Structure 1
Amino acid sequence: MKYIALALLSLTTVTGFAQQKKTNTTAKKKVVATKPSATNQLKTKADSVSYAFGADIGNSLKSIEIDYLKSDVIAKAISDVLKGEKSLLEEGQGRAVIQQAIMDVRAKKEAASRAEEDKFFAENAKVAGMKSTAEGIQYLVLSQTEGPKPKSDDEVTVHYKGTLLNGKQFDSSYDRKEPLKLSLGQVIKGWQIGIPLMSKGAKYKFFIPSRLAYGERATGEIPANSTLVFEVELL
């Protein structure tokens, strides 16, 4: 990987209109104290092991994305436990506090995702040719055919490509060069609703809200609360 550094050079021109006396000036050098690196502070095995455990705990807490945690209070709690001191929370109370905090974060994320998703579908409905179902799925007919349509519990064979709203592809039978045979009763609700709209040989593009896909459950490369976009060809 190449790194490019950009330097900004400023030039100052001073023009003198009168002759001035020369004076000797002594430049004072500013000494900046350097902060020792974390590695230099780890002088013993105990230091390294302790720091490693602390970093592991920190990374775990960071992944929860609770933005109001206080590192000094966390450090005190760890110290209290290691020293065998009495906990400031009653037995079982700590677990309840943690669970509630995680639930609050999850609810906040879900609310933000729903608002973003609602905004997307409202705008997407204005696209020429866009249709929608009563359940909230939007779709475009890319190629239409006439003929019988599958029922919601039938076995079907499809070619498909799945992407997120940002265009990132998470699955494709086209890339595998092999269509997928499946039972509609065993797939996400969005497919159970959408594919029965199609006749054999048709190709549709579905926009499936998260509640009809995987909801708050992350799956593979699909984050929780994701709107999914599928191009599906019924074979």
Structure 2
Amino acid sequence: MKYIALALLSLATLSVSAQQKKKIVKKTTAAKPMLSSKADSVSYAFGRDIGSSLKSLEIADWNKDLIGKAIISALDGQNSLIAEDELRVVIQNAVNEARELKEKENLAKEQAFFTENAKKATVKSTEEGLQYEILVEGNGEKPSRENEVTVHYTGTLLDGKKFDSSLDRNEPLKMKLDRVIEGWKIGVPLMSKGAKYRFYVPSKLGYGSQNMGAIPPNSILIFDIELLDFVKDEV
């Protein structure tokens, strides 16, 4: 029952009899609300926004029926079943528990992935836990962490979703290696000019538990990096 979406449309939705509900279910499994006025549209928009926000928290157990009733009681100015000064504590505790559970799940998946990935003959590992494959080997000197490098790169998540690419922008990235994530600081100095490597970056060498927009917290990052050039610091 989609009380989150329907609760703000009308109180009548919550008072429909059980017999009527059964008849409706027989006709359609997802009855669409009628948005016949500006108030309906505004109400539905807020309801959807509330639902989307709650879903993004990835809390396992929701009482959707109670969420709808709580929204209505707040709109009607009724007393809260939980003291107002305790509401924020309850919410924060639930968010923290969901985040901790998700982190444990992600770390378990990460460990399983790197364990299996290390078994591939083409994959090498550094002592820090970075894994990489040599797609094209280069020749000559290698940059240090203090050098400025010019690279082309594509970054994807483990599911293959691309989150960034200098190739898509048709513009190489030029930056100092001491200003990037730890995985790059470790990996790029392994390369010679002209080399192209694929790096598998564990979350601890990436962005950790930070939410970076297109990059969820505790994500494994996969980078295809081509070292175009580098400039040593002048002594």
Q: With structure 1 as the length reference, what TM-score do the two structures score?
A: 0.73
RCO comparison, higher one (Cα < 8 Å, 6+): 2
Selected match of 1:57 from 47, 50, 55:
50
* Structure 2 match to 1:185: 178
2:126 corresponds in structure 1 to 133
Q: Does 1:207 align with 2:206?
A: no
Please, which moves more after superposition, 111-120 or 148-157? 148-157
Cα distance between partner residues in 2 of 1:193 and 1:211: 13
Residue 154 (str. 1) matches residue 153 (str. 2): no
Q: Which moved more, 1:66-75 or 1:203-212?
A: 66-75
- Tell me: CA distance 1:167–1:58, structure 2 relative to 1, closer, same or farther (3 Å): closer
Equivalent residue letter for 2:193: K
Is 1:39 aligned to residue 33 of structure 2? yes
In structure 2, the residue matched to 1:13 is: none
In the comparison of the two structures, how many residue pairs are matched?
203
TM-score, L = length of structure 2: 0.73
CA gap of 1:34–1:89, structure 2 versus 1, over 3 A, is: closer
Matched, 1:121 2:114: yes
Which has the larger Rg?
1
- The farther-off stretch of 175-184 and 130-139 is 175-184
Partner residue, 2:233 = none
Equivalent in 101, 111, 116 of residue 104 of structure 2: 111
1:229 aligned residue (218, 222, 230): 222
Taking the aligned partners of 1:139 and 1:204, their CA distance within structure 2 comes to 7
1:99 aligns with 2:55: no
Partner of 1:70: 63
Distance 2:138 2:44 in 1: 65
**1:139-176 CA distances to partner (integer Å, 9 max, x unpaired)?**
12233344332221321111222222233333332333
Give 1:44 shift.
Answer: 7.3
| Post-superposition offset of 1:33 | 4.2
Please give the alpha-carbon distance, in whole angstroms, between the structure 1 residues aligned to 2:40 and 2:166: 52
3-state SS of 1:112 partner: helix
**Structure 2, gaps ≥5 residues long:** 1-21, 229-235
2:4 maps to what in 1? Answer: none
Pick the structure with more helix per residue: 2
**Distance in 2 separating the partners of 1:34 and 1:79:** 23
* Aligned CA-pair RMSD: 2.7
Query: Quick one: structure 1 residues 97 and 179, their matched pair in 2 at CA, closer, same or farther if it must change by over 3 Å?
Result: same
Deviations 1:196-225 (A, max 9, x none): 122222222211112211223343433332
Whole-Å separation in 2 of the counterparts to 1:52 and 1:167: 32
Residue identity in the other structure for 2:127: A
Which consecutive residues of structure 1, in runs of 5 or more, have no partner in the other structure?
1-31
